[in-house]
Structure 1
Amino acid sequence: MLKNLFKKKAENTELVAPITGKVIALEQVSDQVFSQKMMGDGVAIEPSSNEVVSPIDGEIVDVFKTKHAISLKANNGAEILIHMGLETVELDGEGFEVKVSNGDKVEKGDPIAVFHTDIIAGKNYQTVTPIILLNGDEYTADQKISDEDAKAGETILFELKKN
């Protein structure tokens, strides 16, 4: 009983846009893996800029070898995936510059990648960028926004709440 008295309560945290652009509901993404929430809940952004920033205070968990996706863990334990473009794994890193490594500590708004949307689109890939809550069994993406313009590092996309 006393153990719980001193246990630090997990905080809810706000997730900000990792990239500037138009926020769209995840259900509108053309890739069914995302639209049917097979990987988890979240939103997507149709980018209007190239800079990708950290949407949370936390740590870089995994920079995918193909540089098209980065997963992070918020200080409250929520795990987030930023997937730059659709099917972009096939580009094997072309069009992406990653500025972080696994284990790096980051704060909201810290630059983590450059996503060359002109190169990606020029190769006939969609640039829509899903932002996914990976551990939805432990956390909820609450108060999600869509159909709004978002500014990287500033606009709150949703709140990560501990279940």
Structure 2
Amino acid sequence: MFKKLFGGKAKQKDVTIVAPLTGQVTPLENVPDPVFSQKMMGNGFAIEPTEGQVVSPVEGEVIQLFHTKHAIGLKTDAGVEVLIHIGLETVAMNGEGFEAHVNQGDKVQVGTPLVTFDLNLVKEKAKSTVTPVVITNSDNMESFEMLTNGSVQKGSTPCLKVVAK
């Protein structure tokens, strides 16, 4: 009530994470890297991309952009922190084939282009193209609900509903 009276904005507790890439959704447990498959980084899902463009899966702020551009972190107003890690062992590519379209601190909307990458180069040089999408502060979340499986379209297919504590 206080927030309503004085014009404050109440925090949204549930956040829908849409597909940041076009491709096929797969459970994190299927990712061939124990850091992701055992959810050491947090809960989430992965996408096997069919094209090399990553868009924002949420409305929020870019809180981390790795200098190699292979991974990007976002934070929603509800406090949900989303890490998108393009491919596996792509850090070794040292940015080759990756181009960022945002900077740390930028505000983004669902569908804002974040990073483009050369999918064929990633296939050639990395362990895998599978892209984990992880809630890095999963311990602060009340629940996770997968909303889809199979094919997804970047910027539009709802993939995961997260409820913050």
- Tell me whether 1:65 sits opposite 2:70 in the alignment: no
Gaps of at least 5 residues in structure 1 are none
Aligned to 1:123: 125
Equivalence map 1:85-104=2 (5 Å): 85-104=87-106
- Tell me whether 1:138 sits opposite 2:140 in the alignment: yes
Q: 1:58–1:4: structure 2 CA closer, same or farther, 3 Å change rule?
A: closer
Kindly indicate whether the alpha-carbon contact (under 8 Å) linking 2:90 and 2:126 is maintained by their aligned counterparts in 1. no
Aligned to 1:25: 27
Q: 1:147–1:9: structure 2 CA closer, same or farther, 3 Å change rule?
A: closer
Moved over 3 A (4+): 2-7
Please list the CA deviations of residues 32-84 of structure 1 after superposition, one character each: whole Å capped at 9, or x if unmatched: 00000000000000000111100000000010011110000012110000000
Q: 1:48–1:38: structure 2 CA closer, same or farther, 3 Å change rule?
A: same
CA distance in 2, matches of 1:109, 1:156: 12
Kindly indicate whether the alpha-carbon contact (under 8 Å) linking 1:66 and 1:92 is maintained by their aligned counterparts in 2. yes
1:140 is displaced (CA, Å) by 4.5
CA distance in 1, matches of 2:142, 2:134: 11
Kindly indicate whether the alpha-carbon contact (under 8 Å) linking 2:60 and 2:77 is maintained by their aligned counterparts in 1. yes
Gaps of at least 5 residues in structure 2 are none
When the two structures are aligned, how many residues end up with a matched partner? 162
Using the size of structure 1 for normalisation, the TM-score is: 0.92
Which residue identity does 2:51 align to in structure 1? S
Q: Percent identity?
A: 43
